[in-house]
Amino acid sequence: MERSEALKHFEEEYINPYVREMKKNIEKYIDDHRKELTEAFVENFRTLCRKIKEMQKEGRKGKIAYITYSFNIHNLQKESRDYVVQAYGSEWFLEEGEECKISYNVGWLYDFLDDFYGRLFEISKKYMSNINASDMDQVWKKGVIHCDVKLLNFTKRAIKEAVKTEEFKALDKEEVLEIRLGQEKGYNEIIYKMDTRVKDSKKIKEWLEYGEKNYSYSVLQNLDLSGGNYKGITCHNADFSGSNLSDSNFEGASLIESVFVKSIINGVNFYRSSLPETDFSDTVLENSNFQEAGLRLAILARAQFMNCNLNNAKLYSSDLSYCTFKNSFLTNTKFYETNLENADLSGNNFMGAVFFRTKLIGADLSNADLTGTEFINIDFTTFKFDNAKFANNKVKEIKVYEKDLYRLNLSEEQLEEVTVVK
């Protein structure tokens, strides 16, 4: 086997599958330990804030404009597992004067990389001299980038808790403050942005309607943006919290990771919009159109949907715990691994919807129209479905109480997919 063939074979047969496995394991670890990981992150952030405040009191530090979490690739190669957390003024890296920094240890994350690299290193020996130390160095660096992306996703949620602390609130800050994470003096991304400048709702609305190429990371809180035509805009990681968006058009818009917490959502058109990882928690959504919208990993906990259309919406791995739906259409909606724990879904139209490994503990589907609905890996013993309408359903690997089995109107063939609980 020639070197080029060996490299291609090694990548396709081992590196790529191992990367996918590592990413999956990291995601599971974060999900399983999110509470303690977030608490540790917040405490570390408090430590930085206390240090900043002390230096500000002593006149050794001015107002803060940037906080960065950065890794040094060379330090990581020397088995360091720390990100440097550093505070800057408005001049950022060009700032002169005393540094203000601490370390944030992420050894828990790089344990996965060490395992990933160690196994691949042993496999690489089988290729003899076709795969050398330089090749494996690139494999390791590729693994670092994947780990950094997973840390980025985690910190975007954890930082929301950190900025609520009194230590952060007490800091002297510039009107615009960014918290970023990434490679030292290389690519980094905003995980939190604060902008306290006074904004004119009319001007902001005109700016959004003008159709610029990108509005990402805009802080658009507590504004009157109602009646706006924002069709097709790109507005990732924006914060619309508390703003009035009533009667606005976001058809086909890309709103990835944007925040709509307690915004006024009434008569809003999100048809075919891209809404993955958006946050609508604790928000009332009325008379709005979410048809064919992509809501993967969205946060909709405790949201209230009233007279909304979610026909063919995709709610993959989203959190809708404790949410409420009233007089809403959820026909052909995809609930793949969605969290619907303690959700009130009663009386709604779910015709043709798909529930795949959906968490339904404590949910209420009473009086719902479930005609043609598909249930895969669903435990019917964990939720209410009194007087729900079942017909022409597809089922696979479901669990049902014996006393409720008759309600589902299943055929003899379908009963083979049922685990009956007495």
Q: Tens digits of per-residue pLDDT, 23-72?
A: 999 999 999 999 999 999 999 999 999 999 999 999 999 999 999 999 98
Which has the closest alpha carbon to 149: 178, 188, 117, 192? 188
Q: What is the pLDDT of residues 353-394, one digit of tens each?
A: 999 999 999 999 999 999 999 999 999 999 999 999 999 999
Which structure tokens are listed for 27?
A: 């995601």
**Cα distance between residue 316 and residue 226, in whole Å:** 29
Asked whether residue 272 carries a pLDDT value surpassing 90, the answer given is yes
Percentage, residues of the chain above pLDDT 90? 83
Provide the domain count of the chain. Answer: 1
Mean pLDDT, range 251-256, rounded to an integer:
97
Residue 136 placed within a domain: yes
Residue 168 placed within a domain: yes
Asked whether residue 206 carries a pLDDT value surpassing 90, the answer given is yes
Q: What is the pLDDT of residues 284-294, one digit of tens each?
A: 999 999 999 99
Residue 32 placed within a domain: yes
Rounded to 10 degrees, what is the CA torsion of 266, 271, 273, 278? 40
Picking from 106-120, 127-141, 159-173, which range would have the lowest pLDDT averaged per residue? 127-141
Mean pLDDT, range 134-138, rounded to an integer:
90
Residue 188 placed within a domain: yes
Residue 86 placed within a domain: yes
Q: Which residues contact 193 (CB under 8 A, 6 or more apart)?
A: 176, 177, 178, 179, 217, 219, 237, 239
Residue 176 placed within a domain: yes
Mean pLDDT, range 190-211, rounded to an integer:
94
CA distances 68 to 48, 150, 375, Å, are 11, 17, 45
Residue 266 phi/psi, 5° resolution? -140, 120
Which sign does the torsion angle of CA 222, 223, 229, 231 carry? negative
Q: Provide the domain limits for residue 121.
A: 3-192
Asked whether residue 80 carries a pLDDT value surpassing 90, the answer given is no
Which has the closest alpha carbon to 318: 302, 333, 339? 339
Asked whether residue 149 carries a pLDDT value surpassing 90, the answer given is yes
Rounded to 10 degrees, what is the CA torsion of 235, 238, 242, 244? -10
Residue 311 placed within a domain: no
Residue 376 placed within a domain: no
Asked whether residue 224 carries a pLDDT value surpassing 80, the answer given is yes
